[in-house]
């Protein structure tokens, strides 16, 4: 069955699964005259509808150029954690669900049969209000002999990073295609993150295609991570398809506990990840969701905090797999519904 992997040295240890669904929040007015988003030129008061201009701030309700209503209150806690049955039942082993920036396409790993362990699948929908269509395997990434997990797609849809477990190690690979309608190439190892031990996995491509995050038990220079080999989070700058440089540890997030499953907003300001630390601050045998938000992309993250409403402590694993750009909806993988785990989501209220 498909499960996420935690790593000890070069030995892969199974652990859990995830996912969810969201309706995209809104971002404001457009810089294009007569339609919606971005900074506008002030040509009217905000009390009357425009005719063929767009103005700044909050427009009158009947203005065709008015800023859409917000989807949630970002500072509020998430609502109930809910199973997403479209992508498997509570013990299906489905995991690693991520969406495109517009939330209309999903990639995830399924476990439809013993012969198809780690089947990378995708599904799409016509609009945010529509249901996803029937998932289909992603050709070249659905190898019955290799367990593929955590598929993360670039914003142009042409590069997909994923974790593969070909033997007793975990590696990050990527596949490319010429257009959004074309098939992907055979996966190729990301330099420095593939091959035999040491292990690297849980890749997450930031939604602006600038940075690749991942988890590993070794630092970029091959030395030990914090805690004498704990699982830690790293990141590097994307320089081309499957290529990245300037790899660094995310020191503000890493501790002597295991940290993995980074999921960050496209602007690079808010990150969610999984850590084996309990609510009491002590070591935990299972993963729990933590978060941190910084003021600017290049700032250090402040001390992360536990997200208690997403927990199902003390015995189950829960890990983030994707966070919407407005932080209103989070996708999760959790084994709270069964030993193999399933795909879940939670939404912040308005």
Structure tokens at 337: 């519904």
Question: Got the DSSP string for 135-180?
Answer: -EE-TTS--TTSEEEEEEE-TTSSEEEEEEESSSS-EEEEEE-SST
Residue 168: pLDDT over 70: no
- The alpha helices in the chain, defined as continuous H runs, are 226-229
CA distances from 269 to 192, 197, 210, 287, 301 (A): 26, 32, 13, 22, 8
Q: What average pLDDT does the chain have?
A: 79
Distance CA 233, CA 134 (A): 33
Measured in Å, how far apart are the chain's first and last C-alpha atoms? 38
pLDDT at 10: 32
1 or 111: which leads in pLDDT: 111
Tell me if 248 sits within 8 A of 237, measured CB to CB: no
Q: What are phi and psi of 81, to 5 degrees?
A: -80, 120
User: For domain 5-22+69-347, is the CATH number 2.120.10.30?
Assistant: yes
Distance CA 235, CA 213 (A): 4
Model confidence at 176, in pLDDT bands (50, 70, 90)? very high
Report pLDDT digits (tens) over 201-223. Answer: 899 999 999 999 999 887 665 65
Q: What are phi and psi of 193, to 5 degrees?
A: -120, 10
pLDDT at 37: 43
Sign of CA dihedral 250, 256, 260, 265: negative
Distance CA 7, CA 219 (A): 14
Strand order in the sheet with 105-110: 95-99, 105-110, 119-124, 136-137
Distance CA 218, CA 201 (A): 11
Residue 44: pLDDT over 60: no
Q: State which H helix or E strand residue 215 sits in.
A: strand 211-216
Sign of CA dihedral 205, 206, 209, 212: negative
Per the listing, tokens 């993150």 go with: 193
Helices and strands: H and E segment counts in the chain: 1, 23
pLDDT at 288: 95
Tell me if 194 sits within 8 A of 200, measured CB to CB: yes
Model confidence at 11, in pLDDT bands (50, 70, 90)? very low
CA distances from 36 to 22, 23, 26, 29, 139 (A): 21, 18, 10, 4, 37
Write down the domain spans for the chain.
5-22+69-347
pLDDT at 19: 34
The least confident of 78-87, 145-154, 183-192, 323-332 is: 145-154
């Amino acid at each position: 069955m498909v499960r996420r992997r935690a790593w000890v040295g070069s030995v892969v240890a199974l652990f859990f699964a995830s996912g969810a669904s969201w309706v995209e929040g809104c971002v404001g007015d457009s810089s294009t005259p007569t339609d919606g988003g971005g900074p506008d030129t002030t040509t009217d008061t905000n009390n009357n509808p425009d005719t063929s201009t767009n103005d700044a701030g909050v427009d009158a309700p009947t203005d065709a150029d008015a800023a859409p209503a917000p989807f949630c209150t970002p500072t509020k806690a998430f609502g109930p954690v809910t199973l997403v049955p479209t992508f498997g039942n509570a013990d299906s082993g489905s995991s690693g669900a991520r969406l495109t920036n517009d939330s209309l396409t999903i990639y995830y790993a399924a476990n439809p049969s013993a012969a198809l362990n780690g089947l990378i699948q995708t599904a799409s929908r016509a609009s945010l209000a529509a249901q996803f269509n029937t998932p289909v395997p992603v050709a070249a990434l659905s190898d019955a002999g290799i367990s593929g997990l955590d598929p993360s797609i670039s914003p142009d849809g042409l590069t997909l990073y994923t974790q593969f477990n070909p033997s007793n190690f975990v590696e990050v690979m990527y596949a490319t295609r010429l257009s959004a309608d074309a098939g992907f190439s055979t996966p190729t190892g990301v330099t420095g993150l593939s091959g035999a031990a040491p292990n690297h996995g849980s890749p997450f491509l930031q939604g602006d295609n600038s940075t690749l995050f991942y988890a590993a038990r070794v630092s970029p220079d091959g030395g030990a991570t914090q805690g004498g080999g704990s699982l830690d989070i790293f990141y590097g700058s994307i320089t081309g398809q499957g290529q990245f440089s300037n790899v660094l540890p995310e020191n503000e997030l890493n501790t002597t506990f295991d940290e993995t499953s980074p999921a960050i907003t496209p602007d690079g300001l808010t990150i969610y990840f999984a850590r084996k630390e309990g609510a009491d601050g002590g070591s935990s045998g299972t993963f729990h969701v933590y978060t941190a938000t910084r003021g600017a992309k290049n700032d250090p993250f402040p001390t992360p905090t536990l997200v208690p409403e997403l927990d199902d402590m003390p015995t189950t694993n829960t890990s983030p797999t994707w966070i919407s750009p407005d932080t209103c909806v989070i996708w999760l993988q959790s084994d709270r519904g069964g030993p193999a785990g399933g795909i879940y989501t939670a939404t912040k209220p308005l």
